[in-house]
């Protein structure tokens, strides 16, 4: 039972750290960040199982993390009003070519981050962007002015 309680406490702490860390931080993990995460994983496992290195303790810890993740997903599905609080919400960071600096600051991002993401999508100027959305997973969605000229997309790839 002790492993179960420690697992829930560590899960809640890690969920909080990821939420506070920001969307782009999670989406832009470098090689060093991955090594750091592996190290943190080892440290967390020591905190969860302490001196109990049995297979049973490891199974209980992994099962607790899995069930806690499933429970969070179920809560966000069953109670949509909790979804923004638990999973985050998409934020508009550029509207009609103008960056929303307060929103960017709130997400701990700079306009350079938006420029970089736009260049990756082949967008040269912010003035070409009608809308840029920072998604809950930390990725950007761009809607350019050229999209309006093409009309509504058709076929199986069309958005509904």
Q: List the domains of the chain with CATH numbers.
A: 2-87 (no CATH), 91-150 (3.30.240.20)
CA-CA-CA-CA torsion for 75, 81, 85, 89, nearest 10 degrees?
110
pLDDT tens digits for range 56-91: 776 777 778 778 878 888 888 899 888 887 777 889
Tokens of 144: 């350019």
Residue 152 has pLDDT above 70, yes or no: no
| Position with higher pLDDT, 34 vs 108 | 108
As a whole number of angstroms, the distance between CA 102 and CA 48 comes to 39
Closest CA to 146 of 121, 129, 124, 125: 129
Residue 154 has pLDDT above 90, yes or no: no
Residue 22 has pLDDT above 70, yes or no: no
Q: Following DSSP, what letter does each residue of 46-96 receive, concatenated?
A: HHHHTT---HHHHHHHHHHHHHHHHHHHHHHHH-GGGHHHHH---EEEEET
């Amino acid at each position: 039972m002790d492993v179960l309680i420690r697992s829930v406490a560590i899960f809640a702490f890690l969920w909080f750290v990821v939420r506070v860390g920001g969307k782009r931080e999670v989406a832009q993990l470098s090689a060093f960040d991955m090594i750091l995460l592996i190290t943190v994983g080892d440290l967390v496992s020591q905190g969860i199982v302490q001196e109990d290195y049995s297979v049973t303790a490891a199974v209980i810890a992994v099962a607790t993390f899995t069930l806690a993740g499933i429970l969070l997903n179920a809560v966000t599905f069953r109670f949509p009003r909790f979804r923004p609080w638990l999973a985050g919400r998409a934020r508009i960071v550029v509207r009609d070519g103008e960056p929303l600096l307060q929103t960017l600051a709130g997400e701990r991002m700079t306009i350079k981050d938006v420029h970089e993401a736009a260049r990756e999508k082949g967008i040269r100027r912010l003035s070409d962007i009608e809308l840029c959305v920072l998604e809950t997973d930390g990725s950007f969605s761009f809607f350019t002015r050229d999209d309006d000229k093409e009309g509504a997309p058709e076929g199986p790839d069309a958005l509904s």
